[in-house]
C-alpha cells in the first residue's frame, strides 16, 4: 500500500512536472506582457491622442506577428485621460496596482504626463515619453526617456531665431496662447530673442476663447517688426494665418511662425491651403529626402490606411511615427536585456543607441534626446484643396538645421508667399 502510494506520488509528481513543461508555452501565451498608457481619446487633445493610440496598436500588432517579446505576446492597455492632469495619476495608479502592467508609456502630451512623474519616481518605474515637453525638468527621474525630438525651448525654436539672425532681424513681435505649453515656448523664445540681440516691439498673450485675431494682427502690423514669433494652438493657428491673409501683416516681416501647433495636422493644412505659403514653423517629421529614416515611409503608408478607417489625421507626420517609436524603444531594450525590470531597462537605454523609424535615438542624463532634431520648415507652392500635396517632397522644405536642410529660406514673407 505504502509502495503503491510512494509510486503513485512519484508518478503524479512526474506527470505534474511533465504537464508543467508542456503547459509552459501555453501559459506564456496566456500571460502576455502588459504595456500600459493613457491618452486623450476625448476632449481638445483627442486628435493627437487617437493618432498616438493607433500607432501604438500598430506596433503591438507588428511585434505580436513576429512572435512577441521574450516569447510572450504584448497586450496594450490604454485609458482615456481626456488630456487632464487630474485624470492621469489615478489612471497610472490603476495601471500599476490593478492591471499590474509590466511596462509603461507616459500619457500623451505635456500636462497629463508631468502629473504622473512624481509617482513614477517614487515607484521607480521606467517611463517612455509620448510627445511631451520638459516633463522631467523638475522631477529629475532617472528612468525617463522621451520619444520626442527635443530637449529644452532652445532645441524647439532655436532654429527659428537662428534663421532670424541670418536674414538680419532686429525687431521681433511675440503672440502666444495663454496655455502652459505655449507660455513655456514663449519664455524660451524671449530668452533666445534677448541672446540674439533682437528688440521686442510687441508682445501679446491671448486667452483660449479668442474668436477673432484681427485686432492683434493690426497691432502687429502697426509695430512693424522684422519677425513675428507665434506660439499658438490649432484653432488659433488657423484663425491667425487667415487674419494675416485678409488684413496683411506688413512688408517689414521677414519671418512669420515659429511655434504654431496645428500646422502639422492634415485638417488645418487643408483648411489653410495656399495661405500657408511662406510660413516658417517647427515640425518633427516631413517627407523630405533628408528625413527618410528606415521604415518611416512604409509605416506612414500603412498608418494612412488605418487612419482613414478610424477617422483620425491621415498624414500622421507629427505624432504617429514617434508613438510607434516609443514601442520600438521598449522592444529594443527588452530584447537586449531579456528583462522587464525597470532598473535593467533604464540602464540599457542610458548607455545605448536605439534604432527607430524616426531615426537613431540616444538620451542625455535628463532623459531628453542627446541630439535634438526639431526642424524648421517653410511651406512652398501649396495650392488650395489638395490634401495629397503634403505627402510630396518640396512642399514643406526644411530650412534648419543644416543636416536636414533641403532648401534655403525665402525671405521676406511677402516674397515667400509668392513662391
List of residues contacting another protein (CB under 8 A): 42-44, 46-47, 50, 178, 204-207, 209-212, 214-216, 218-219, 222, 234-235, 238-239, 242-243, 245-248, 265-268, 271, 275, 311-313, 384-385
| Contact indicator for 359, 52 with CB cutoff of 8 Å | no
- Which cell numbers hold the place of 1? 500500500
Polymer length in residues for the chain: 419
| Distance (Å, whole) CA 52 – CA 319 | 6
Residue-wise DSSP of 374-401: -EEEEE-S--TT-GGGGGSTTSEEEEES
Whichever of 252 and 352 has its CB closer to another protein, that residue is 252
| Contact indicator for 327, 56 with CB cutoff of 8 Å | yes
Whichever of 125 and 283 has its CB closer to another protein, that residue is 283
What single-letter DSSP state applies at residue 273? G
| CB of 218 vs another protein, minimal distance in Å | 6
| Distance (Å, whole) CA 164 – CA 273 | 25
| CB of 222 vs another protein, minimal distance in Å | 6
135-167 burial, b at 16+ Cβ within 10 Å, e below that, comes to bbeebebbbbbbbbbbbbbbbbbbbbbbbbeee
| CB of 104 vs another protein, minimal distance in Å | 25
Whichever of 31 and 42 has its CB closer to another protein, that residue is 42
Whichever of 197 and 207 has its CB closer to another protein, that residue is 207
| CB of 147 vs another protein, minimal distance in Å | 22
| CB of 335 vs another protein, minimal distance in Å | 35
Whichever of 22 and 222 has its CB closer to another protein, that residue is 222
| Distance (Å, whole) CA 189 – CA 195 | 10
| CB of 50 vs another protein, minimal distance in Å | 7
Whichever of 188 and 262 has its CB closer to another protein, that residue is 262
Residue-wise DSSP of 230-248: EEE-HHHHHHHHHHHHHH-
Phi and psi torsions of 95, nearest 5°: -60, -40
Whichever of 56 and 276 has its CB closer to another protein, that residue is 276
| CB of 378 vs another protein, minimal distance in Å | 20
Amino acid at each position: 500500500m505504502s509502495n503503491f502510494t510512494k509510486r503513485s506520488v512519484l508518478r503524479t509528481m512526474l506527470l505534474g512536472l511533465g504537464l508543467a513543461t508542456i503547459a509552459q508555452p501555453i501559459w506564456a501565451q496566456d500571460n502576455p506582457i502588459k504595456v500600459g498608457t493613457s491618452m486623450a481619446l476625448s476632449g481638445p487633445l483627442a486628435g493627437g491622442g487617437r493618432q498616438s493610440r493607433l500607432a501604438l496598436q500598430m506596433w503591438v500588432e507588428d511585434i505580436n506577428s513576429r512572435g512577441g517579446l521574450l516569447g510572450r505576446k504584448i497586450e496594450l492597455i490604454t485609458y482615456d485621460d481626456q488630456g487632464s492632469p487630474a485624470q492621469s495619476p489615478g489612471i497610472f495608479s490603476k495601471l500599476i496596482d490593478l492591471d499590474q502592467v509590466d511596462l509603461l508609456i507616459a500619457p500623451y502630451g505635456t500636462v497629463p504626463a508631468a502629473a504622473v512623474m512624481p509617482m513614477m519616481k517614487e515607484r521607480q518605474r521606467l517611463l517612455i515619453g509620448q510627445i511631451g515637453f520638459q516633463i522631467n525638468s523638475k522631477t529629475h527621474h532617472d528612468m525617463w526617456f522621451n520619444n520626442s525630438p527635443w530637449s529644452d525651448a532652445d532645441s524647439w525654436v532655436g532654429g527659428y531665431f537662428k534663421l532670424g539672425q541670418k536674414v538680419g532681424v532686429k525687431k521681433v513681435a511675440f503672440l502666444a496662447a495663454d496655455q502652459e505649453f505655449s507660455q513655456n515656448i514663449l519664455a524660451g523664445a524671449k530668452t533666445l530673442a534677448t541672446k540674439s540681440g533682437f528688440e521686442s516691439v510687441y508682445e501679446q498673450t491671448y486667452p483660449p476663447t479668442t474668436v477673432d485675431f484681427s485686432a492683434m494682427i493690426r497691432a502687429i502690423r502697426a509695430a512693424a517688426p522684422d519677425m513675428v514669433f507665434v506660439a499658438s494652438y490649432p484653432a488659433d493657428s488657423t484663425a491667425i494665418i487667415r487674419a494675416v491673409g485678409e488684413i496683411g501683416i506688413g512688408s517689414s516681416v521677414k519671418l512669420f511662425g515659429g511655434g504654431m501647433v496645428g500646422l502639422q495636422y492634415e485638417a488645418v493644412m487643408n483648411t489653410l491651403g495656399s495661405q500657408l505659403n511662406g510660413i516658417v514653423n517647427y515640425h518633427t517629421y516631413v517627407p523630405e529626402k533628408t528625413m527618410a529614416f528606415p521604415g518611416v515611409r512604409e509605416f506612414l503608408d500603412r498608418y494612412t490606411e488605418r487612419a482613414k478607417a478610424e477617422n483620425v489625421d491621415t498624414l500622421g507626420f507629427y505624432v504617429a511615427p514617434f508613438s510607434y517609436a516609443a514601442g520600438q524603444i521598449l522592444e529594443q531594450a527588452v530584447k537586449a536585456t531579456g528583462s522587464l525590470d525597470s532598473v535593467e531597462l533604464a540602464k540599457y537605454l542610458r548607455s545605448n543607441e536605439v534604432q527607430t523609424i524616426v531615426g537613431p535615438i540616444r538620451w542625455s542624463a535628463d532623459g531628453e534626446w542627446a541630439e535634438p532634431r526639431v526642424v524648421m520648415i517653410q511651406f512652398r507652392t501649396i495650392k488650395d484643396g489638395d490634401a495629397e500635396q503634403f505627402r510630396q517632397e518640396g512642399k514643406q522644405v526644411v530650412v534648419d538645421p543644416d543636416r536636414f536642410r533641403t532648401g534655403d529660406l525665402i525671405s521676406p514673407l511677402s516674397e515667400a508667399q509668392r513662391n
